[in-house]
Amino acid sequence: MSGLRRSERIVRLTQTLLEQPYRLISLTDMAEKLNSAKSSLSEDLAIIREVLLKEGIGTLETQAGAAGGVRYIPGVPDQQVSDFLREMSRLLADPDRILPGGYLYVSDILGRPDVLDKAGRIFAHIFSMSGADYVLTVETKGIPLAVSAARYLHLPTVVVRRDHRVTEGSAVSINYVSGSRRIQTMSLSRRSLPERSRVLIIDDFMKAGGTAKAMCDLMKEFKAEVVGVGVFMSTSEPTNKMLEDYVALTVLSHVDEITREIRVEPGTFKISQKGEL
Amino acid sequence: MSGLRRSERIVRLTQTLLEQPYRLISLTDMAEKLNSAKSSLSEDLAIIREVLLKEGIGTLETQAGAAGGVRYIPGVPDQQVSDFLREMSRLLADPDRILPGGYLYVSDILGRPDVLDKAGRIFAHIFSMSGADYVLTVETKGIPLAVSAARYLHLPTVVVRRDHRVTEGSAVSINYVSGSRRIQTMSLSRRSLPERSRVLIIDDFMKAGGTAKAMCDLMKEFKAEVVGVGVFMSTSEPTNKMLEDYVALTVLSHVDEITREIRVEPGTFKISQKGEL
């Protein structure tokens, strides 16, 4: 019977922790809920931590003290990261994706629940030490990725709008020149981001970096610090982007509308252990 | 030692199942990965299922046969649903949310990871028997909710655009009259949705239902069937909405810009067991 009880506790603990990444779970509360001694829970948590570490799928972080507890820090094994990036590169390089003007159709990929989940998890892993308070994106196609990364970092998502909406209250707007050389506007509601926040920017695509640079400029208006920039796909050209520090999961190096050739490679980046890339 | 091994297996199985809702996990693959007999796994799964059912957080569904396996169907206990709806109603009724024109500021709530996760889970629970193939939403504020529901249903998210973008390929556009009585356009890329799909519509807000109705009309162009409509908040007025069958998590019955009074109540709906609301 005691074996069974341990098994049940482990299901509950694993479920509670894994479904709430980065959220501090009070051991006292859990002991009460599971009607168990804290010492038993500590043994259970040691088993869970060991399995997570061995599989490379994260770890448990314990915080001592009265307000203490344990939280799940999600990880992704290096092999899974490289497998995923190779698979995405392969999918993106399908000639059927080429649209008039040399654009690539990617909305289907960025709508897939497994892709969003894995990409979000990888972004969360890469930026786990960034100290971000918010995940920032700009409408529209980056939103699902941002939400997924924010889920695994347990951070709020803030969405910059292309136009100013009455349902957002007073906003700060800036103009910028996009990749297509048009003057565009982006705006963010004043109340959506407290001043001096630490912000992680997640978006679907980067070419010259005009949009990401504009988001960085917009952040200055909020006295916010940009602690990381991650995109699903960047282009290799221009090599000289408008911002230097960013992580691209995949890199598009060639699209030819006539020959219907596409080349996409996995991005090269280090997964930070100390908040530096 | 055998007790420890069972514990480890249970952590791995719980993690694999719970992090991939609705995805069929092959028992043969799992037995190989965990280097265990299928009979041991069956015992482990029985324990996991029992805990999930007891806690009301879902169940495991077993599919027999060569292509068989087990999948996690997420659930939410009734008490958690009503607690969440009451908490959301309380948050939404904060007078500080009133914007000029009587609009409510809700972007902060719809960006919170815990809110998105729980709301998505509740939508997935409500529409678990809908047989949807896709979750559909319209940019911008409904996207995070749709992505979260789609995660728990393991379905792709499809985003209707307010304007037609070159990066989406050829599209179907329709005009409609919005709540503000302006003529608006929405468009959806042809390739984003196969014909004859079954579609679950998720959005943040519904007043007269013009936008949701327009999405239903747009779906006719794709020969798609709308199998459910869920919104985070609806208004009690007009009582006569442009569509009848929808689920609203919360209902706004009163906003007064002068007296700064707001009333929001939890929505009333049945959680379907048979795909009917």
pLDDT tens-digit map of B5-50: 899 999 999 999 999 999 999 999 999 999 999 999 999 999 999 9
* Contacts with A154 from chain B: Cβ below 8 Å: 113-114
Residues of A in contact with B169 (CB under 8 A): 99, 105
CB A140 within 8 A of CB B192: no
**Is A159 in Cβ contact with B107 (below 8 Å)?**
yes
pLDDT band at B267 (very low <50, low <70, confident <90, very high): very high
Closest partner residue to A47 among B11, B19, B116, by Cβ? B11
Largest CA distance in chain B: 70
The reply to whether residue B148 touches residue A150, judged by beta carbons under 8 angstroms, is no
Binning pLDDT at 50, 70 and 90, where does residue B272 land?
low
The residues spanned by each domain of chain A are: 2-74, 78-266
- Tell me whether residues A167 and B50 touch, CB distance under 8 A: no
* Closest chain A residue to B103, measured at CA: A167
B177 pLDDT band, cuts 50/70/90, is confident
At the topology level of CATH, where does A2-74 sit?
Arc Repressor Mutant, subunit A (1.10.10)
Using CB atoms, pick whichever of B10, B15, B168 lies closest to residue A7. B10
Looking at residue B274, its pLDDT comes to 40
Determine what percent of chain B is predicted with pLDDT higher than 70: 95
- Considering only CB atoms, A18 lies closest to which of B3, B18, B169, namely B18
ipTM of model: 0.94
pLDDT of residue B68: 82
CB-CB under 8 Å, B168 with A107: yes
Helix axes A113-126, A143-153, angle to 10 degrees: 60
Q: What does the pLDDT look like over A80-119, one tens digit per residue?
A: 999 999 999 999 999 999 998 889 999 999 999 999 999 9
Mean pLDDT, consecutive 10-residue segments, chain A of 277 residues?
Answer: 74 96 94 92 96 95 87 96 98 95 94 98 96 97 98 98 81 86 90 97 96 97 98 96 96 95 94 47
Interface test with A, best of B16, B114, B143 (most A CBs within 10 A): B143
CB contact under 8 A, B47 and A11: yes
Q: What is the mean pLDDT of the segment spanning B200-205?
A: 98
What's the mean pLDDT when you consider all of chain B? Answer: 92
Q: Which of A14, A101, A139 sits opposite B15 (nearest CB)?
A: A14
Which structure tokens are listed for B228? 């459910």
Rounded distance, CA B133 to CA A170, Å? Answer: 39
Do the Cβ atoms of A147 and B150 come within 8 Å?
no
List of residues 6+ apart from B140 with CB closer than 8 A: A139, A140, A143, A159, A161
Residue in chain A nearest B149 by alpha carbon? A113
Using 50, 70 and 90 to split pLDDT, how confident is the model at B163? confident
| Residues of chain A found within 8 Å of residue B166, distances taken between Cβ atoms | 99-101, 103
Asked if A166 lies within 8 A of B99 by C-beta distance, the reply is: yes
The amino acid at A266 = P
Q: Return the number of other C-beta atoms located less than 10 Å from residue A55's C-beta.
A: 17
Nearest by CB: B150 against A108, A113, A139: A113
With beta carbons less than 8 A apart as the criterion, state whether A257 and A104 touch.
no
Task: Give the distance from residue A155's alpha carbon to the nearest chain B alpha carbon, in angstroms.
Answer: 6
Q: Cβ A156–B8 below 8 Å, yes or no?
A: no
Chain B residue numbers with beta carbons less than 8 Å from the beta carbon of A108 are 156, 191-192
Q: What are phi and psi of A143, to 5 degrees?
A: -60, -50
Long-range contacts formed by A246-250: CB under 8 A, 24+ apart: A246/A206, A246/A209, A246/A212, A247/A123, A247/A126, A247/A127, A247/A277, A248/A206, A249/A85, A249/A88, A249/A119, A249/A122, A250/A85, A250/A88, A250/A89, A250/A92
Contacts of B30 in chain A (CB under 8 A): none
Cross-chain CB nearest to A113 (options B51, B117, B155): B155
Nearest to B107 among A15, A155, A168 (CB): A168
Which residue out of A1, A5, A10, A50 would a mutagenesis test of the B interface target, given it has the greatest number of B Cβ atoms within 10 Å? A10
From the options 3.90.228.20, 3.40.50.2020, 3.40.605.10, 3.30.1280.10, give the CATH code of B78-266.
3.40.50.2020
